[in-house]
């Protein structure tokens, strides 16, 4: 590439964190530069030796690279150079703008080829003088607000060059290096002047605002100091006159509390007492009106409000506790037994050691209200802390006191409100905690709270001292375990609360919900009654839930209807609601449950499904047609359920004799009705297998038989979840026989006796057991099915030997 004939050469002076503008008289530095460049500049200072000051975008000025520099710089005439410990101090002035065409290294020095890049002198002498005068006027207004501004103005008054004035003033302005470089890049003198003028006016307005704000703050502080002095004088006058302060007005301050004596009487730990006394001493030595005073006072007030003294263990009455739990909650035997066990341990150990339970179950099953009953049974204070939607770790651990408006975390706030060290604290909706982000991870903050090995030294950021939470009985509630982090889940004892049976809902509705609704609506027992048949009809056809919230809402709708009639003076003051009255009051039925069919054709089987609002039966339909061996799956099935269907078909092909069905000439279509409802999970495996077996053998499956179980490619039946809910759904649908995996036999202890008495439950271990129970076919073990090439004979499911 040909070089420009105006190209010249000079040493590069790297500028890191600064930008020099053209035509500036200055004393600048110190510069962090390489040792070889330092020696060169010191040797040639005051000579005609040329140096280009080029700003750096990045990199180390002691070891710069060509790509670290901007393209524009200024010629720097160095008149004097002095070495200091922090760098090289240079005195001199800048001249013209230049453009660095090429930057290279030679003998340890950085050189640059440059060409002149002069300014466009688009301001005549009159315009330049007017611009200088206007800038001087603004500078005078700014400097008048500062002490020593006159000396500053004397230095400025003698400058008449616009470039020199800009270079001088910008050193004292909070302008970024990027903005300074933009001024350097602007080759138009007019544009550069106007841009700088904007920056100077912004500086002026910002300074004006700050001064007005400071003036207001100063006035408020003065008024505060004056009031403080007057109050002290008033106290001294009253003391001199031997007058008490009973007549003191509401606006006057009371005598300051004696923090030291209160701290010593609070029963704090040694570490906490030492920290509190230290803060109290700071308060005593602090001057009047110190802004830290209120921060320390709030901190000490919070420490003194916290309960520190351990509560003595009380004698436990197990029978009274059992009576309270049974009166307040129908069913929930496992939870009740766990509480009674805890009370027994407390009695033996003679302490209040807390526990950490996690109650998991569908909405409306009484998890939160159970906490109140536990607190009453334990004779402790009850606190409820809702965690749903919390995304800030400080909500659990608090803010550090260095922040303005800092508050303690909600754990210690609730302990303070309870006033005791051993409350029952319900952490509601622990599965609804938001994932961690900029505000930290609230679930992670709970790890220390819910760890029995660590929570005796729980440290809140605001308190900044260990606090013992080991006596607190924590009860967490959740609807699902899926969103609870594993480490947090590991710290709690999980108790699953499944949905209520229809019988349990009936007793809860009649014995608990109906009296509550009558009280809420101001109705007496003799004004409204709902007969048993009507309650059962509401449960079956007007609610669709695992809990009882919807049942209570329907009772409330009936109560509102009756209240209106009573207030209107209508058909009397006593009402008994019967089954036939429900449609008029509640409208049409809102729930629909599939019922067992009278007859199932070959290829149709009844399965069992779990839903968040209870169990349901599920029909599996299969059909075939002439084709090429394709398989079609419909009914909005999930990936796992589709895999179960493919496993079932592969297993069936392997178990049937080779010449029984020609699968290559048949297309198979599997459908699960209720196509708008997504379905997934492996528990329909044996139902899918049975539907295909029924289709290809032409044998019908009993319509009153349902089944659930995961299937494997080797023909094993694996256990499933939600057995109780599925059996409840089967009972409601009129099913009389259910096939379940053999490994689920242990779960039958959770199934109500009335369900087990109504349904014949048959455990199965392999697909051979399934086929025997469903379509009465005996298959041998899998190793007897396959025939070797050329071997005659084989097994036929239809009873004949080929």
Rounded Cα–Cα distance for residues 800 and 802 (Å): 6
d(CA 509, CA 617): 25
Active-site choice (167, 355, 683, 694)? 683
DSSP state of 460: -
Q: Which residues contact 51 (CB under 8 A, 6 or more apart)?
A: 10, 11, 12, 13, 41, 75, 76, 77, 78
**514: how many CB neighbours lie within 10 A of its CB?**
21
The C-alpha atoms of residue 138 and residue 200 are separated, in whole angstroms, by: 8
Q: Are 597 and 696 in contact (CB under 8 A)?
A: no
Is 85 labeled as catalytic in the residue annotation?
A: no
Report CA torsion sign: 597, 598, 604, 610: positive
In 3D space, the residue among 705, 744, 736 whose CA is nearest the CA of residue 620 turns out to be 705
* Contact (Cβ atoms closer than 8 angstroms) between residue 765 and residue 626: no
| DSSP H or E segment with residue 721 | none
Cα–Cα–Cα angle for 77, 79, 81, nearest 5°? 110
DSSP string, 426-437: EEETGGGPPPPB
The most distant pair of C-alpha atoms in the chain lies apart, rounded to whole Å, by 126
Q: Which residue has the tokens 């299937």?
A: 711
* Angstrom distance (rounded) from CA 543 to CA 580: 17
CB 527 within 8 A of CB 559: no
* Spatial separation of the C-alpha atoms in residues 743 and 800, rounded to whole Å: 34
**Cα dist from 42 to 30, 62, 269, whole Å:** 13, 16, 66
Catalytic residue check, 278:
no
Q: Are 718 and 709 in contact (CB under 8 A)?
A: yes
Backbone angles phi, psi at 430, to 5 degrees: -70, -20
The tokens for 205 are 């307005």
Instruction: In whole angstroms, give the CA distance from residue 458 to residue 451.
Output: 10
What are the structure tokens assigned to 301, written together?
């007030």
Q: Where are the beta strands (DSSP E) in 635-765?
A: 666-671, 705-707, 710-711, 717-718, 737-741, 760-764
- Return the half-sphere exposure (C-beta side, CA atoms, 13 A cut-off) of residue 440: 14
| Residue tagged active-site, from 726, 737, 749, 772 | 726
Residue the block writes with tokens 């106290």: 235
Contact (CB, 8 A) for 584 and 557: no
**Do the bridges between strand 614-626 and strand 666-671 make them parallel or antiparallel, or are there none, so unpaired?**
antiparallel
Q: Which residue has the tokens 């004696």?
A: 258
- Count of CB atoms within 10 A of residue 188's CB? 14
Q: Nearest CA to 36 among 44, 28, 48?
A: 44
Question: Is 18 in contact with 58 (CB distance < 8 Å)?
Answer: no
At residue 433, what are phi and psi to the nearest 5 degrees?
Answer: -60, 135
Round to whole Å and give the CA distance between 228 and 225: 5
Residues 6+ apart with CB under 8 A from 801: 793, 794, 795
Asked whether 138 and 201 are in contact (CB, 8 A), the reply is yes
Tell me the catalytic residues: 683, 726
């Amino acid at each position: 590439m040909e070089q420009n004939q105006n190209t010249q050469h000079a040493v590069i002076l790297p500028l890191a964190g600064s930008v020099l503008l053209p035509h500036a008289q200055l004393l600048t530095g110190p510069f962090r530069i390489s040792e070889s460049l330092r020696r060169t500049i010191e040797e040639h200072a005051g000579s005609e030796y040329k140096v280009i000051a080029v700003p750096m975008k990045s990199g180390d000025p002691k070891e710069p690279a060509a790509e670290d520099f901007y393209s524009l710089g200024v010629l720097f005439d160095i008149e004097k150079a002095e070495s200091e410990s922090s760098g090289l101090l240079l005195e001199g002035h800048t001249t013209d703008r230049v453009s660095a065409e090429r930057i290279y290294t030679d003998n340890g020095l950085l050189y640059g080829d440059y060409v002149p890049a002069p300014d466009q002198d688009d301001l005549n002498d009159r315009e330049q003088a007017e611009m200088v005068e206007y800038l001087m006027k603004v500078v005078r207004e700014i400097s008048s607000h500062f002490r020593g501004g006159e000396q500053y103005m004397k230095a400025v008054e003698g400058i008449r060059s616009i470039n020199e004035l800009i270079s001088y003033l910008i050193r004292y302005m909070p302008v970024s290096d990027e903005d300074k470089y933009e001024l350097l890049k602007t080759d138009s003198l007019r544009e550069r002047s106007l841009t700088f003028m904007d920056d100077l006016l912004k500086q002026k307005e910002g300074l004006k605002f700050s001064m007005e704000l400071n003036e207001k703050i100063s006035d408020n502080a003065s008024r505060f100091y004056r009031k403080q002095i007057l109050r002290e004088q008033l106290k001294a006058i009253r003391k001199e006159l031997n007058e008490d302060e009973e007549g003191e007005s509401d606006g006057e301050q009371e005598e300051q509390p004696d923090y030291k004596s209160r701290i010593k009487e609070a029963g704090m730990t040694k570490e906490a007492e030492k920290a509190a006394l230290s803060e109290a001493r700071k308060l005593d030595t602090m001057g009047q009106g110190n802004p830290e005073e209120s921060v320390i006072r709030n901190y000490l007030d919070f420490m003194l409000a916290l309960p520190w003294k351990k509560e003595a263990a009380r004698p436990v009455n197990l029978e009274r506790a059992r009576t309270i739990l049974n009166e307040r909650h129908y069913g929930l035997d496992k939870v009740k037994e766990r509480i009674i066990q805890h009370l027994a341990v407390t009695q033996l150990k003679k302490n209040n050691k807390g526990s950490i339970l996690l109650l998991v179950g569908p909405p409306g099953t009484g998890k939160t209200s159970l906490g109140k009953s536990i607190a009453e049974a334990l004779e402790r204070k009850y606190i409820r802390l809702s965690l749903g939607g919390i995304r800030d770790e400080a909500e659990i651990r608090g803010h550090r006191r260095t922040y303005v408006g800092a508050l303690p975390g909600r754990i210690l706030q609730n302990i303070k409100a309870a006033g005791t060290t051993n409350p029952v604290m319900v952490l509601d909706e622990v599965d609804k905690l938001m994932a961690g982000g900029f505000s930290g991870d609230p679930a992670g903050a709970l790890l220390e709270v819910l760890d029995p090995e660590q929570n005796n030294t729980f440290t809140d950021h605001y308190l900044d001292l260990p606090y013992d939470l080991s006596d607190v009985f924590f009860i967490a509630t959740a609807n699902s375990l899926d969103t609870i982090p594993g480490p947090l889940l590991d710290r709690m004892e999980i108790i699953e609360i499944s949905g209520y049976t229809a019988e349990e809902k009936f007793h809860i509705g009649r014995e608990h919900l109906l009296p509550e609704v009558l009280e809420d609506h101001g109705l007496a027992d003799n004004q409204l009654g709902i007969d048993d048949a009507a309650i059962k009809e509401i449960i079956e056809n007007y609610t669709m839930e695992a809990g009882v919230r919807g049942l209570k809402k329907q009772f409330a709708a009936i109560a509102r209807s009756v209240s209106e009639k009573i207030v209107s003076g209508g058909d009397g003051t006593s009402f008994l609601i019967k089954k036939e009255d429900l449609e008029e009051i509640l409208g049409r039925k809102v729930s629909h449950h599939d019922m067992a069919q009278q007859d199932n054709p070959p290829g149709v089987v009844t399965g069992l499904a779990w839903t968040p609002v209870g169990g349901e039966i599920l029909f599996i339909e299969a059909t075939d047609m002439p084709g090429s061996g394709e398989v079609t799956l419909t009914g909005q099935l999930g990936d796992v359920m589709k895999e179960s269907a493919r496993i079932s078909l592969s297993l069936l092909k392997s178990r049937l004799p080779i010449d029984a069905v020609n699968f290559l000439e048949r297309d198979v279509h599997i459908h699960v009705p209720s196509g708008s409802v997504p379905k997934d999970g492996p528990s329909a495996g044996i139902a899918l297998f049975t539907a295909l077996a029924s289709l290809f053998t032409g044998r019908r499956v009993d319509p009153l038989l349902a089944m659930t179980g995961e299937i494997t490619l080797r023909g094993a039946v694996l256990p499933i979840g939600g057995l109780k809910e599925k059996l409840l759904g089967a009972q409601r649908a009129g099913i009389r026989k259910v096939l379940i995996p053999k490994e689920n036999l242990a779960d039958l202890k959770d199934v109500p006796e009335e369900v087990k008495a109504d349904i014949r439950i048959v455990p199965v271990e392999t697909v051979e057991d399934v086929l025997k129970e469903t379509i009465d076919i005996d298959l041998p073990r899998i190793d007897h099915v396959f025939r070797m090439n050329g071997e005659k004979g084989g097994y036929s499911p239809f009873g004949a030997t080929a």
